[in-house]
């Protein structure tokens, strides 16, 4: 299994509170991604990173921010959680080194977030 750990695995929080999800990898891969999974929508990209301090937005980035200060950690922050952010969040890594490589994504086990 790819060495990806997501924490926490489950979280319940109240509307308006900040939330940070952590993704930790032991593979030293350059690319890391945050996706959310919702019924009827499949997996949608929130943000991704192609190196330390190098991040970019995905298709559903509003309301989310990310940080990557170390190769192994990619943090996803909901500054002020809303009920629409209730979802399952998956972190993924890729061994791609850039250019046209497109190595497959390997996913963590997910974080189930409920915003009440």
CB of 42 or CB of 53, closer to another protein? 42
Q: Locate the DSSP E strands across 1-116.
A: 4-7, 10-13, 19-25, 31-38, 42-51, 54-57, 64-70, 73-78, 87-94, 105-107, 111-115
CB of 16 or CB of 74, closer to another protein? 74
- Contact residues toward another protein (CB under 8 A) are 31, 33, 35, 40-45, 48, 50, 58, 88, 90, 92, 94, 96, 98, 100-107, 109-110
Least distance (Å) from another protein to the CB of residue 12? 18
Return d(Cα 105, Cα 93) in angstroms, integer: 6
- In angstroms and rounded to an integer, the radius of gyration of the C-alpha atoms of the chain is 13
CB of 22 or CB of 57, closer to another protein? 57
Least distance (Å) from another protein to the CB of residue 116? 22
Neighbouring CB atoms inside 10 A of 41's CB total: 10
Least distance (Å) from another protein to the CB of residue 44? 7
């Amino acid at each position: 299994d790819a060495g990806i750990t997501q924490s926490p695995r489950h979280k319940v929080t109240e509307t308006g509170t900040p939330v940070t999800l952590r993704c930790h990898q032991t593979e030293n891969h350059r690319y890391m991604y945050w996706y959310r999974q919702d019924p009827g929508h499949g997996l949608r990209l929130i943000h991704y990173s192609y190196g330390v301090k190098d991040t970019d937005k995905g298709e559903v980035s509003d309301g989310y921010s990310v940080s990557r200060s170390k190769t192994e950690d990619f943090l996803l922050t909901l500054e002020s959680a809303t009920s629409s952010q209730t979802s399952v969040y998956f972190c993924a890594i890729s061994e791609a080194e850039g250019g046209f490589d497109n190595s497959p994504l390997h996913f963590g086990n997910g974080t189930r977030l409920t915003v009440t």
